[in-house]
Amino acid sequence: MADEVILLDFWPSPFGMRIRIALAEKGIKYEYKDEDLKNKSPLLLQMNPVHKQIPVLVHNGKPIAESLIAVQYIDEVWNDKSPLLPSDSYGRAHARFWADYVDKKIHEVGLKLWRTNKGEEQEAGKKEFIEVLKLLEQELGDKPYFGGDKLGYVDIAFIPFYTWFKAYETFGNLNIEKECPKILSWAKRCIKIESVSKSLPDQDKVYDFIVEMRKNLGIE
């Protein structure tokens, strides 16, 4: 019986991108559905009644919401190739900790950079954002990827935010390459990987989208 895999997503969502990368890494064929978030489909509301948000992975009719939970599900079900998490329990705990850190810090702090035009808030956000990136840089160390020699769970959790860097830099008035060069070189290494490059939209497109969003939110 062939698997039926559907991804309910929204193209600029870093959370959706995580699942796209995981599916691509495993070579899983799936149907991609881009949602209109102002007019959510009955399928989305049925598949994620609790949060009514994308992304939602639907596997043979069963929904999985929350991007990192979906990535773990993909790794556990399609366990015959390209492991995304390490096999030892300490390595897995370490990966889960750092992916959770990315979840807690990058998006939330990033909001302070683009979702406001209040100088004070942006300045505080900028300082915090750089601290977060520096900590991640430290965690990366000399490894080519957070996962070691290959793309892993933490890389997948974090790389989608690279598509938002132009927006963070422009609105937050920061230069990520200057502050955290290792993060930039890591990101460029990741996007050379096919499963990543074909899952991520262009940075300029994402930037234009955020400019539009700011207009709609009434932020200059």
Q: Which residues bind other proteins (CB under 8 A)?
A: 50, 59, 62, 64-66, 69-70, 72-73, 76-77, 89-90, 92-94, 96-97, 100-101, 135
Closest contact distance (angstroms) between CB of 93 and other proteins is 4
Spatial separation of the C-alpha atoms in residues 92 and 84, rounded to whole Å: 10
Closest contact distance (angstroms) between CB of 69 and other proteins is 5
Closest contact distance (angstroms) between CB of 49 and other proteins is 9
132: its two tokens: 């977060």
If the CB atoms of residues 65 and 187 are measured against other proteins, the closer one turns out to be: 65
Answer yes or no: are the C-beta atoms of 9 and 64 closer than 8 Å.
no
Answer yes or no: are the C-beta atoms of 134 and 126 closer than 8 Å.
no
Question: Rounded to an integer, what is the distance from CA 68 to the centroid of its chain?
Answer: 9
Closest contact distance (angstroms) between CB of 128 and other proteins is 14
Bond prior to 55 in cis (omega within 30° of 0):
yes
Closest contact distance (angstroms) between CB of 77 and other proteins is 5
If the CB atoms of residues 32 and 97 are measured against other proteins, the closer one turns out to be: 97
If the CB atoms of residues 76 and 204 are measured against other proteins, the closer one turns out to be: 76
Q: Rounded to the nearest 5°, which phi and psi values hold at 5?
A: -125, 125
Query: Which residue type does 128 have?
Result: E
What is the edge-to-edge ordering of all strands in the sheet holding 62-65?
31-34, 5-9, 56-59, 62-65
Spatial separation of the C-alpha atoms in residues 70 and 84, rounded to whole Å: 12
If the CB atoms of residues 136 and 167 are measured against other proteins, the closer one turns out to be: 136
